[in-house]
Amino acid sequence: MHSFTPAMLNEGESAVRRLEIRLRNVSNIAKVVWSSFDFMCGPELKFVWEVIPSNSVSPLNLSSGEGSINGEGSLVSSMSTQSAQYEDIDDPLQVNITYVLSTRAFTPFMAFTAHRSCSLALTTSCVDSGIGGTISTHSELSGFCLSPLAESLPDAPTTSFQPFKDPNLQVGFFFSCRFHLPFVRCSAQLPSNPLMHKMTVVPSRNLLVGSFIFSMSQPDGIRTLYAISFLMNNCKLEWYMERQTFVESVVLDIIPKLKALFLSKEPWEDVVVRANLDLTRMVNLISILDRYPLVSELCPLLIKNTLLVQKRCQDDKILSKAISGVLQSQGQCVIIGSDTQYVCRLLHTLAAFLPIELRWCCPRMYRHKFSPYVRLQAVHRHELPNVMQCGALANWPLCVVDVDRSMVCMSAHYSRHRVLKQRADAQRIDTILNNVFQNKPVTLELSSCRILECVKAFVRRMDMLPVEEKRQILYYFNFQQSARMALIVYVKHASEPLPSEKSSATKSSRFSLNECRCALDLQSDSWFHAVLARAELIMPDIAEFIYSST
């Protein structure tokens, strides 16, 4: 998947330590830059990771795709092996479209045109119009001909335009280090805001830089500003904005481990190895999510590929419980089962209950090992111990669906899960500081998932509707939930401190979670946490705000 091969790149008097991240899939991230800044030394470029995809691309499969539900035999056979599979027709096309980025991409078209005008014999053809004595000239290649005014202009230079040959134009990672990071050197790094994100778009360089900036104490006590920057083409702006929250959650877990290595006075090589491992895993995971999406524009979510088209959906207890679990877990659901046909349909069904902006984070089944950062995912049964241990690192409770045993379980609610995550993070940091592994790691606390009343009513209604109307009711169910907005408005007004209150500047002592649940008819724990999960997607950190002092 990757290799650790440092190299040296001389640029004047400085030396850049370069590493390679080799992936099986193409990544839209071109480079990862680790830089620092302090007032004594100024900006310093630490390391540059170059993302290099492998040259092997799977052949096209024109007959059927892995995400297709039409052929049961082809689906089962394609999922029963771990060898290289034939991919969907859109994947290699997406590879070629996203990967062809070279210096020619920055070169204007006129730089490649010949200094001589084209021969008319190449761009015109004679066609008999049927009228005596007249011949019409027409060719689809005539668009490549220059107008008489353009023909009279001076010849264009034959040498190609190389933007990096200009001594005043720095290479992308030098630019991000020397000019991007110093702009935020005076920003306050507060305990409540340990990480800052800064995005810069430079159209003249075709460059997009997304930097995550944090401060870190050196062994000598000096605090230095660091930045982990992701460099890509500026045409990937929309792509990056959609994944910025995902990248931020991963970086938030990487930074404490790097700080622990600095505090433990580990050799610089160990810090680099840890950073290389974590960054490689993150970039590889993003490339897999882009390469094997469960739902995409070319492979949209279809009602015929879900379990909602079967007769008597209300008799399928796994389906109702799984939908209830997905609503409570923000879509962070793990499915285990040997019936690949049912698992695939269940994945597509549960994807319909995720917001559209989160569906990109759902890979096809068995394409990646369990990750606490991924939403819907299907894994093999032997990964269940890893799910129990690494699931505690997720930002939200998990739903675990065991198809073979007809079980749907939920981990502890957010009020308890946040405590487990803090303990799991503390164990990882303690392992780095003391170099001692914990005998009993923090694991998930699972319990049986209860079916929500709204899900029962929804499934019963789906059984009575024809297939043509099921898509409309599904859309209505997803976006017409007023309970989450009512919770946000209530918490906002009830927690606003009065002018006479001095205990807290952000939260009133009058706020009571029990009164809030009674006022909004959220006495049921399952229904309350389902509403809270959707409210968290609209207003991040509202759950932490509610439970911070309750």
Do 26 and 54 meet the contact criterion of CB atoms below 8 Å apart? no
* pLDDT given for residue 500 in this prediction: 74
Looking at the predicted structure, is the pLDDT value of residue 336 above 90? yes
* pLDDT given for residue 175 in this prediction: 58
DSSP for 349-371, please give it.
Answer: HHHTTS-GGGGGG-BPTTSS---
Instruction: Measure the CA–CA gap between 527 and 86, rounded to whole angstroms.
Output: 42
Do 395 and 412 meet the contact criterion of CB atoms below 8 Å apart? no
Residue 538 CB contacts under 8 Å (≥ 6 apart), including other chains? 484, 485, 488
User: Mean of the per-residue pLDDT values for the chain?
Assistant: 74
Instruction: Measure the CA–CA gap between 233 and 143, rounded to whole angstroms.
Output: 29
Neighbours of 530 (CB within 10 A): 25
Instruction: Measure the CA–CA gap between 338 and 334, rounded to whole angstroms.
Output: 14
Computed on alpha carbons and rounded to an integer, the radius of gyration of the chain in Å comes to 28
* pLDDT given for residue 181 in this prediction: 54
* pLDDT given for residue 325 in this prediction: 94
**Higher-pLDDT residue of 22, 447:** 447
Do 261 and 274 meet the contact criterion of CB atoms below 8 Å apart? yes
**Domain chopping of the chain, boundaries:** 7-56+169-291, 293-480, 481-550
Kindly report, residue by residue over 284-318, the tens digit of the pLDDT.
Answer: 999 999 999 999 888 888 888 888 887 777 788 89
Q: Is 435 left (phi over 0), alpha (psi -120 to 50) or beta?
A: left
Looking at the predicted structure, is the pLDDT value of residue 46 above 50? yes
Handedness of CA 425, 427, 428, 429 (dihedral sign): positive
Residue 159: which pLDDT band, with cuts at 50, 70 and 90? very low
Residue 11 DSSP code: E
Residue type for position 489: V
Kindly report, residue by residue over 391-435, the tens digit of the pLDDT.
Answer: 999 999 999 999 999 999 999 999 999 999 999 998 888 888 887
